[in-house]
Amino acid sequence: MSPDAEAQLADFLRQLNDVRRLSPHTLSSYQRDLKQLGYYCQQKAIVEWHKLQAHDIRSHIAARHRSGLGSKSLQRELSAIRSFFNYLLKNRLTDNNPAQQVKAPKQARKLPNTLDVDQVNGLLDAACNSMLAIRDLAMFELFYSCGLRLGELSALNLTDIDVRDCSLMVVNGKGGKSRVLPIGSKAIIAIEKWLPYRLKMAEPLVTALFVSNRGQRLGQRSIQLRLSLWCKAHGIEAHVHPHMLRHSFASHLLESSQDLRAVQELLGHSNISTTQIYTHLDFTHLATVYDQAHPRARKKS
């Protein structure tokens, strides 16, 4: 790319950081995705962004798809390209957005893996024989009780939990959104057992609800590892990861309540279409409702 084109990309990334204040992870994704577009331009001897046409973007995305990139990743790359060209349009550095009408190939939506109620009970009814086990059980109970994301649980502070009110505050969830969640009785009991040990383990200035044996905030990778060790120690053969407890929370709650909007709020989904995937998990209930309600399905008495 020409020096001017490189400067335009650098200015765009700087705006994402300074003006839009995107997270380092998101900023890194933009940079990586646009670098791939730069490689395409290099192969095609295109030195200015405004010379790219819609057929170039389609060709680039098709090549990325052939290299094994999935639909979600391709959609993310297209989103980054559209945002960049919208920036160029706004600054009158191009006269069109070649990615505007380009779509990524569709991919079959995978249903999330969940545990059934008996499996969850087997996971959470295990006995605790150490401080770390008491802490771990409190974490896993909270995962399932509130449907938390891994990052949300790791980020919880002691002040985010109200044991008397049986609630917690997710201060900075996905997209920077906060939400208040109820906590079930089993999780409250587990947390109350953990809190005296946390007082002994946590360093004085550490605010985290869950801390390591060194007294520092327990990181996401450590939580994943502890869940894996917990399953092995209690003879659970299924590969259980933290997000599976969130999926199970959503599936079980929706199965019992049939209240999609409430589950959406509890999960912190911005779009209800994200929550609707859990409706596909409960076909037995849907079939029962159909048999009872449809005039051509009801059995004659």
Please pick, among 179, 193, 243, 285, the residue that the annotation labels catalytic.
243
* Cβ neighbours, 10 Å, residue 65: 16
How many Å separate Cα 154 from the centre of its chain?
13
**What is the maximum alpha-carbon separation in the chain?**
81
Residue reference for tokens 């201060």: 171
Given 20, 72, 103, 174, which residue is catalytic?
Answer: 174
Distance (Å, whole) CA 154 – CA 212: 11
Q: Is the distance from CB of 279 to CB of 249 less than 8 angstroms?
A: no
Positive or negative, the Cα torsion across 34, 39, 43, 45?
positive
Out of 60, 64, 226, 269, the active site residue is 269
30 catalytic residue (yes or no) = no
15 three-class SS? helix
Q: Which helix (H) or strand (E) holds 51?
A: none
To the nearest 10°, report the CA torsion of 13, 14, 16, 18. 170
Q: Which amino acid is at 215?
A: G
User: Hey, what's the torsion of the CAs at 93, 95, 100, 101, to 10 degrees?
Assistant: -150
Beta-carbon count within 10 A of 141 CB: 23
Structure tokens at 241: 């990861």
User: DSSP string spanning 23-40?
Assistant: -HHHHHHHHHHHHHHHHH
Q: Is 149 a catalytic residue?
A: yes
Query: Catalytic annotation on 32?
Result: no
Amino acid at residue number 276: Q
243 is catalytic: yes
35 among known catalytic residues: no
278 is an active site residue: yes
Which pair of structure tokens corresponds to residue 68? 């094994």
Q: Where are the alpha helices (DSSP H) in 48-92?
A: 54-66, 71-90
Of the candidates 60, 76, 149, 226, the residue annotated as catalytic is 149
Q: Which of 76, 246, 247, 252 is catalytic?
A: 246
Residue among 30, 87, 144, 278 flagged as catalytic: 278
The residues annotated with a catalytic role in the active site are 149, 174, 243, 246, 269, 278
